[in-house]
Structure 1
Amino acid sequence: MNLIIRKAKIVDPQSPFHDQIVDVKITQGIIEEIGASILNIDTHQEFQHEGLHLSQGWFDMSVSLGEPGFEDRETITNGLNVAAKSGFTGIALQPNSNPIIDNQSQVHFVKQKAANSATELFPIGALTKNSEGKDLAELYDMKNAGAVAFGDYGKNLANANLLKIGLQYTQDFDGLVMAYCQDDNIKGNGVANEGIVSTRLGLKGIPNLAEELMVARNLFLLEYTGGKLHIPTISTAKSVALIKEAKAKGLNVTCSVAVHHLVLTDEKLDGFDTRYKVSPPLRTEADRKALIAGVLDNTIDCITSDHNPMDIEHKKMEFDLAKNGTIGLESAFGALLTVLPLEKIIKKLTFGKSILNFESQIIKKENKANLSLFQTDSDWTFTKEHILSKSKNSAFLGQVMKGKAIGIYNQGKLVLA
Structure 2
Amino acid sequence: MDILLKRATIIAPGDKNHLHTKDILVSKGKIEKIANNISAPKVKVLESDNLHVSIGWMDIGTHIGEPGLEHRETIDSAARAAAAGGYTDIAIMPIVYPVTHSKSEVSYIVNNQPNNGVRIHSIGAVSKDAKGEDLTEMIDMSRAGAIAFGDGLKSIKDSGMMMRALQYAKAVNKPIINYSIDKSLVHDGQMHEGDVSVSLGMQGIPSLAEHVAIQRDISLAEYTESELVLHCVSTEEGCDLIKKAIKDDINISATVSYVNLIHIDQDLKSFNSNLKVKPPIRSNRDRKALINSVRKGSIQTIVSNHVPLEEEQKKLEFSYAGFGATGLETCFAAVNTHLSEDIPLEQIISALTLGPRIQMKTYLPAIKSGEVACLTVFDPSISWTYESKKKKSISANNKYLSTSLTGKVLATIIGSKVNL
Are 2:376 and 2:411, in contact at CA under 8 Å, matched by a contact in 1? Answer: yes
Structure 2: distance between partners of 1:189 and 1:213: 18
Are 1:192 and 1:204, in contact at CA under 8 Å, matched by a contact in 2? Answer: yes
2:254 matched residue in structure 1 = 255
1:31 matched residue in structure 2 = 31
Out of 368, 373, 380, the residue aligned to residue 372 of structure 2 is 368
Q: CA deviation at 1:8?
A: 1.5
Out of 387, 394, 417, the residue aligned to residue 390 of structure 1 is 394
Counterpart secondary structure, 1:49: coil
1:65 matched residue in structure 2 = 64
- Letter matched to residue 34 of structure 2: I
Out of 346, 366, 378, the residue aligned to residue 343 of structure 1 is 346
Counterpart secondary structure, 1:109: helix
Cα gap change, 1:372 to 1:251, in 2 (>3 Å) = same
1:331-378 deviation per Cα after TM superposition (whole angstroms, max 9, x unaligned): 111111121221010000012011122232121112221100110113
Are 2:153 and 2:278, in contact at CA under 8 Å, matched by a contact in 1? Answer: yes
2:199 matched residue in structure 1 = 200
2:358 matched residue in structure 1 = 354
Structure 2: distance between partners of 1:66 and 1:207: 30
Counterpart secondary structure, 2:418: strand
2:171 matched residue in structure 1 = 172
Are 2:207 and 2:235, in contact at CA under 8 Å, matched by a contact in 1? Answer: yes
Structure 2's unaligned 5+ residue stretches are none
Structure 2: distance between partners of 1:56 and 1:285: 32
Are 1:86 and 1:407, in contact at CA under 8 Å, matched by a contact in 2? Answer: no
Structure 1's unaligned 5+ residue stretches are none
Structure 1: distance between partners of 2:410 and 2:85: 7
Q: How does 1:11-410 map to 2 (within 5 A)?
A: 11-40=11-40, 43-337=42-336, 338-339=338-339, 340-350=343-353, 351-385=355-389, 387-397=391-401, 399-410=403-414
Are 2:139 and 2:172, in contact at CA under 8 Å, matched by a contact in 1? Answer: yes
Structure 2: distance between partners of 1:6 and 1:177: 41
Are 2:80 and 2:393, in contact at CA under 8 Å, matched by a contact in 1? Answer: no
Identity of aligned residues (%): 34
**TM-score, normalised with respect to structure 2:** 0.96
Structure 2: distance between partners of 1:20 and 1:11: 8
Q: How well do the aligned residues superpose, as a CA RMSD in angstroms?
A: 1.5
1:249-307 deviation per Cα after TM superposition (whole angstroms, max 9, x unaligned): 11110110000000011111111121111011110111000000000111101000011
- Letter matched to residue 102 of structure 1: H
- How many residues align? The count is 415
Cα gap change, 1:199 to 1:398, in 2 (>3 Å) = farther
Cα gap change, 1:207 to 1:399, in 2 (>3 Å) = farther
Counterpart secondary structure, 2:411: strand
Q: CA deviation at 1:28?
A: 2.1
- Letter matched to residue 295 of structure 2: L
**TM-score, normalised with respect to structure 1:** 0.96
Structure 2: distance between partners of 1:112 and 1:54: 29
Are 1:260 and 1:395, in contact at CA under 8 Å, matched by a contact in 2? Answer: no
Structure 1: distance between partners of 2:255 and 2:399: 19
Moved more, 86-95 or 115-124: 115-124
Structure 2: distance between partners of 1:88 and 1:312: 25
- Letter matched to residue 246 of structure 2: K
Q: CA deviation at 1:386?
A: 5.2
Structure 2: distance between partners of 1:227 and 1:377: 41
Moved more, 123-132 or 25-34: 25-34
